[in-house]
Structure 1
Amino acid sequence: MKDSNFLKENNARHMWHPMAHPADSLANPPKIVVGGDGVSIRDIDGKEVLDAVGGLWNVNLGFSCEPIKQAIAAQLDALPYYSTFRGTSNDQVIELSWMLREFFEPDGLTRAFFTSGGSDSVETALRLARQYHKVRGESGRTKYLSLKKGYHGTHFGGASVNGNANFRTQYEPLLPGCFHIPAPYTYRNPFNETDPEKLAQLCATALEDEIAFQGAGTIAAFIMEPVLGAGGVIPPHASFMPMVREICDRNGILLIADEVITAFGRTGDWSGSRHWGVKPDMMSTAKAITNGYFPFGAVMLNDKIADVFEQDTSGRGAIGHGYTYSGHPVGAAAAIACLKETQRLDVAANAGARGAELFAGLNGLAEKHDLIGDVRGGHGLMCALELVSDRAAKTPIDKATIGKIYEATYEAGVMVRVSGPNIIMSPPLILTVEDVQKIVDALDAGFSAA
C-alpha cells in the first residue's frame, strides 16, 4: 500500500465517486477504508468503527468470512475465468444453479440467469419480461409499472423504472413506457393517509387505475422492492404486495421482485417476498449473494416463464442477452460458499432478532431528539431515520446539520449512511446485542453533538 500521505493527497483527485458530486468529494474527501474484520472497518488513520452500512447492504457475513475467501482463492487456482455463453459452462455455476433452485423453491423460483450485479439483474429481468410476452404472441406488452421512491439500479432500464428524481432528471430522456404509482410511504404520501393499511389499499387502487388507463394488454411487468431500500427503508403494509400479486395476475402482468437488497436474510426471512407470503414471477438478486466479495448476481425465474422459453419452437425464445462475466466461476464459487455459510449461521433469524432491538433503540432516540421525524424499520436489519428541522411541518433537515450528525456518529465509533434527509442502517447480519447498543449510543452522541 502507498504511504498515507500519498493516498490522502490523491483522495478523490483522479476518480469520481458514485452517487456524489465531484466538487463535494474534492472539498470533503471521502473516508479512506483500509481494513475490515467482523462487523468493523478501519480507516487510514487507524480508527476502527462498527460498519452499520454493511458495505452497501451486502456484507451480511462481515468482513472476515474465511469460507468465502478460501473458495475464491481455490477457484482462482483451478479456473480463474471462462465464458458461459452458448456451448460452454463450468462446474461451479452448475452447482450454484442447483443450490439457488433449492434455496428459492419456496418462492416458486426454479431457474437462474447469472449477471455481474444488481443493476445487471434488474436490466435482465426487464428484458426477459418483454421477451416472455413476445414469445407468447403478445408483442404489445412493452410497458413497465413501478413505485415512486423505488430504486432499481443505474442502467437505463433500471433508472427508467426508478421512482426517485435524483437518479433520473440529469439523464432524461429515459426508456419510454415506464409509469409510476404512489408508494405506500406512510410518513409522506399524496393522500395524506397515516393508516398503513388504508394507504396500501389506496396505492393498490392507483395501480389498478394506471393499468386501466394504459391498457392491461400494453404492460409487460410491475417491478417493486418488497421493502423499499435506498428510497429510505419504506416497508409497505403486509397487505400491499399480496394485493399487487393479485392485480398483476388478473391483468396478465408479470411481477418482478427486486431483491438485490432484501434477499438472503436481510428482512428476517430468506427473501423479502416470502416475508409477505408472495411468489413473484422473477426476482433480481446480487449484493449478499457473495457477501460483497465478488461482483455477481442472479435473476431467478418461475416455471411459468421457464416453460414458455423452454418449450418455444419458433426461435423467439433464444436469449439474445448476457454479460461477459455471467456465471463467472470465481463468483459462483464465492456464492456457493456464501450460501452455505448464510444458512449455517441462520442469519435471517439473527437479523429478525437484532433488527427488532435496533428498531426499538431508534424509537427511543426519537423520543429524545426532535430532529428525528420518522423511524422506519421493524423488518430485519434495515432501518432508517428521516430527519427534519420542524416535526410539525415535516421540513427536511439541511445538509450541513445531517453532515454534522454523520461525522459525530463516526467519531463515536459507528459508520452510517446519509441519503437525502435519511440516515440509513443496513449492518451485517451477524450483529450482536452489544453491537446494536453501540449503534444506538453512537447515534445518540451524533444527535447530541448537532
Structure 2
Amino acid sequence: MTSLQHPNPAQDLSLDPFWMPFTANRQYKARPRLLTSAQGVFYTDADGRQVLDGTSGLWCCNAGHGRREISEAVSRQIQQMDFAPTFQMGHPLPFQLAERLSELAPAGLNRVFFTNSGSESVDTALKIALGYQRAIGQGTRTRLIGRELGYHGVGFGGVSVGGMANNRKAFIPQLPGVDHLPHTLDLERNAFTKGLPAFGVERAEALEALVALHGAENIAAVIVEPMSGSAGVILPPQGYLQRLREITSKHGILLIFDEVITGYGRVGAPFASQRWGVTPDIITTAKGLTNGAIPMGAVFVAQHIHDAFMQGPKGLIEFFHGYTYSGHPVAAAAALATLDIYANEQLLTRAAELEDYWADALHSLRDLPNVIDIRNTGLVGAVHLASRPDAPGARGYEVFDGCFWEGAMVRCSGDIIAMSPPLTVEKAELDRLIDTLATVIRRTT
C-alpha cells in the first residue's frame, strides 16, 4: 500500500507540548516511535508496519490487545453509569470485583482496597502498614524497609522505599526512616541460570542486621518485588523469599509483595507468591488487572490487618485514605471482563506451560556478542548486555531502538533488554521475537 493510502499521523502532530514520562524527550522526538493501533500480540505503527509486542505494552496487556470482551464491557458500563463515588456511597461493581479477586488471591488475603495505579497501590500499602501497627498498639513501628534496585512506582512513598538511583536522587527530601536491603543480582555466581538462581539466599540475612540496627519495635514493614521487573528481571534466589517471610514473622514486621508486574499470570500462577510458595501480609497490584485497558490497581490485605482498623465507634471513618476513582465503575467493568478472559482461556497459568520453551529460546542468545547474562522465569526474560566503558546504557538503547524498527518491541533498562510478551503469544511468535533480537544484537557493536 502507498503512503497516500496510509498517511503517517506523525506528520500532522505537534510533538512539543506533551512532556513524556520516563522518556528522553529530545531523543524520542527526533525520531518518534509512534503506535496507532493494536490487535492480538501486534501493534501497528504510524507507517503501517506490524510490531510484535514483546512487552505486553508496559507489562500490562497480559491477554493481548483488542479484546472485544473488555471494550464491550466498558462501553456498556460507561453508557449505564459513567461514574459513582465510593466515599460514603457505593455501587455494585467494586464489591463484585473484590469478591472475585479475593477468591483468586493467596489464602487469607481477602480484603481489597482499590487504587488507580501501581504507584497508588504501593503508597496505599505503606499507609495501611503504618496504620495497622498503630492500631495494634505498636506506634513506634514507623520505619520502612525497601531493597536496592527495587521499583515501587513514583509516589513519594514508593520512591522512598524504591532502590533505583535515577528515580530517587533528584527528589530529596523523601520519607524519613527508610532503609534498604541489598539487591539479589549476582552475575558472578548466577549468570545464565534458567529460572530462580541457586546462589544468594544469604542476602535475606541482611534483614536481621537491619533489625539489630534499628530495633524490631521500630520497623513497620518490608516491601520487595518478588521479581524486580523494572530493574531488569532480577530474580529471587531459591529460598530467599521464604527467608524474608521467616524473619518478618519472627519480628512482627509486615511483609509486602509488590506484584504490580508479577500479578495476574506473568510468572505462571495468578501471583508470584503462589508460584513461589510464600504468602505476604499485603500484595500490591495494577497493570494486568484490567489488561491495561483502564487505569486501576488493587491492594490485597490479610483479614487480620483489615480487622485491626475496624475498631471504635461504627460511625467513624476507619482509614482516612482513598482516591476519587477508587473502584471506578468503568475500570471495575474492565477488570471483571479481564478476569473472565483469564479464566476462560486459562491464561493465569499459561506462562508456566510456555516457560521451558521460552527459556530455551531466550538462552540460545548466550553466545552473541556482548551478552553477559540471560535471566528468565514464567513468561518474562532479560538479556543483560555489557556496558560500553564510556557510555553506560547506550548499547541497550540501540538494541531497543533497532528492534522496534525491525518489528519487535522490547524494553531497555540501562543495558538490560527485558521482555514480557502477552500470555496469549504462540511459540512461532516467541521465535520471531528472539530472532529479531538476535539480529539486532549481532549488528550492535
TM-score category, normalised to shorter length: over 0.9
Contact 1:146–1:180 (Cα < 8 Å) also in 2: yes
1:423 aligns with 2:417: yes
Structure 1 residues 30-65: Cα deviation after superposition (integer angstroms, max 9, x where no partner) = 311100000000001101111001110000011111
Amino acid at match of 2:60: N
Distance 1:364 1:56, change over 3 A: same
For 2:199 and 2:417, the matched residues in 1 are separated by 27
Structure 1 residues 325-381: Cα deviation after superposition (integer angstroms, max 9, x where no partner) = 0000010111111011112111133212323322211211112x121111011x211
Contact 1:397–1:421 (Cα < 8 Å) also in 2: no
1:18 aligns with 2:21: yes
For 1:250 and 1:164, the matched residues in 2 are separated by 28
2:306 matched to which residue of 1?
306
What secondary structure does 2:402 align onto? Answer: helix
1:84-99 alignment to 2 at 5 Å? 84-86=86-88, 88-99=89-100
Note the C-alpha offset of 1:162. 0.6
2:3 matched to which residue of 1?
none
Task: Identify unmatched segments of 5+ residues in structure 1.
Answer: none
Contact 1:11–1:30 (Cα < 8 Å) also in 2: no
1:436 aligns with 2:438: no
Distance 1:249 1:401, change over 3 A: closer
Number of aligned residue pairs: give it: 436
For 2:188 and 2:289, the matched residues in 1 are separated by 33
Distance 1:14 1:186, change over 3 A: same
2:407 matched to which residue of 1?
413
Contact 1:121–1:298 (Cα < 8 Å) also in 2: yes
For 1:58 and 1:396, the matched residues in 2 are separated by 34
1:123 aligns with 2:126: no
RMSD between superposed Cα atoms in Å: 2.3
For 1:174 and 1:388, the matched residues in 2 are separated by 32
2:375 matched to which residue of 1?
376
Amino acid at match of 2:254: L
For 1:432 and 1:107, the matched residues in 2 are separated by 32
Comparing 344-353 with 117-126, greater Cα deviation is found at 344-353
2:360 matched to which residue of 1?
360
Note the C-alpha offset of 1:9. 5.8
Amino acid at match of 1:242: Q
Note the C-alpha offset of 1:427. 1.0
Contact 2:387–2:395 (Cα < 8 Å) also in 1: no
Distance 1:260 1:107, change over 3 A: farther
1:39-54 alignment to 2 at 5 Å? 39-54=41-56
2:209 matched to which residue of 1?
209
Amino acid at match of 1:376: R
Note the C-alpha offset of 1:413. 2.0
Contact 2:82–2:330 (Cα < 8 Å) also in 1: yes
For 1:62 and 1:5, the matched residues in 2 are separated by 24
Contact 1:265–1:351 (Cα < 8 Å) also in 2: yes
1:402 aligns with 2:396: yes
Contact 1:122–1:258 (Cα < 8 Å) also in 2: yes
Distance 1:139 1:8, change over 3 A: farther
Task: Identify unmatched segments of 5+ residues in structure 2.
Answer: 1-5
Contact 1:310–1:317 (Cα < 8 Å) also in 2: no
2:147 matched to which residue of 1?
147
1:228-267 alignment to 2 at 5 Å? 228-267=228-267
Amino acid at match of 2:21: P
What secondary structure does 1:129 align onto? Answer: helix
1:169 matched to which residue of 2?
169
Contact 1:407–1:446 (Cα < 8 Å) also in 2: no
Amino acid at match of 2:109: L
What secondary structure does 1:300 align onto? Answer: strand
Amino acid at match of 2:383: L
Contact 1:388–1:397 (Cα < 8 Å) also in 2: no
2:349 matched to which residue of 1?
349
Note the C-alpha offset of 1:173. 1.6
Contact 2:35–2:46 (Cα < 8 Å) also in 1: yes
1:380-391 alignment to 2 at 5 Å? 380-389=378-387
What secondary structure does 1:50 align onto? Answer: strand
Note the C-alpha offset of 1:143. 0.9
Contact 2:86–2:327 (Cα < 8 Å) also in 1: yes
Amino acid at match of 1:207: L
Note the C-alpha offset of 1:169. 0.4
Distance 1:312 1:227, change over 3 A: farther
Amino acid at match of 2:380: M
1:292-303 alignment to 2 at 5 Å? 292-303=292-303
Note the C-alpha offset of 1:382. 1.2
